Amino acid sequence: MTTIKVNGKDYHIDADPDMPLLWVIRDIVGLTGTKYGCGAAQCGACTVHLDGEAARSCVTKLGSVAGRPIVTIEALSANNNHPLQLAWQELNVPQCGYCQSGQLMSAAVLLRENPNPTDQDIDDAMAGNICRCGTYTRIRAAIHKAAQLQREGVKS
């Protein structure tokens, strides 16, 4: 039995400690906003926050996350009003949407650490999140917009 803390709530998980955290989040905890893309930490669709960092849940083992705070897209903000979510809506960033929860979770780490990122900073932070629809230019614009909202005091 492994106890994990997802979005502030404890879950007692009876599963193999080698099970990927992604399986636990989606199939056992039941939060399906986090997506399976490649299963090899190559695409970023499965990104969640682990200890505040943008961890790839598809290669993170259940046994390694006991007691560590995990945040999924469902809890990025209380009311879907994180500056990134507001900017994403305003600029209609998603196309198919499959990769977008991972994109948002990675972008949230960037904005936390760098409130005024340049295009280069965005590339450096986001190059590990792949979008097969090619929404990269809108993602970049939305991160700039979210940075502006954050500076203006919009709080999630």
* Phi, psi for residue 34 in degrees, rounded to 5: -80, 130
What is the length of the chain? Answer: 156
* Options 4, 55, 86, 87; binder of other proteins; rule CB under 8 A: 55
Among 121, 133, 136, 140, which residue sits at the site for other proteins (rule: CB under 8 A)?
Answer: 121
Which three-class secondary structure state does DSSP give residue 36?
Answer: coil
Q: Which is nearer to other proteins, 54 or 149 (CB)?
A: 54
Number of neighbouring beta carbons within 10 Å of residue 148: 14
SS3 annotation, 71-128: ECHHHCCCCCCCHHHHHHHHCCCCCCCCCHHHHHHHHHHHHHHCCCCCHHHHHHHHCC
At its nearest, how many Å lie between other proteins and the CB of residue 120? 10
**Is residue 64 near other proteins by the rule CB under 8 A?**
yes
Residue 59 is a binding residue for other proteins (CB under 8 A)? yes
How many C-beta atoms lie closer than 10 Å to residue 106's C-beta?
21
Taking CB under 8 A as the rule, which mask of x and - marks residues 15-54 in contact with other proteins? -------------------------xxx-x--x-----xx
CB of 125 to other proteins, least distance (A): 4
We find the least distance from the C-beta atom of residue 37 to other proteins, in angstroms, to be 13
For residue 63, the surrounding DSSP H or E stretch is none
Q: Which residues bind other proteins (CB under 8 A)?
A: 40-42, 44, 47, 53-56, 59-61, 64, 105-107, 109-110, 113-114, 121, 123-129
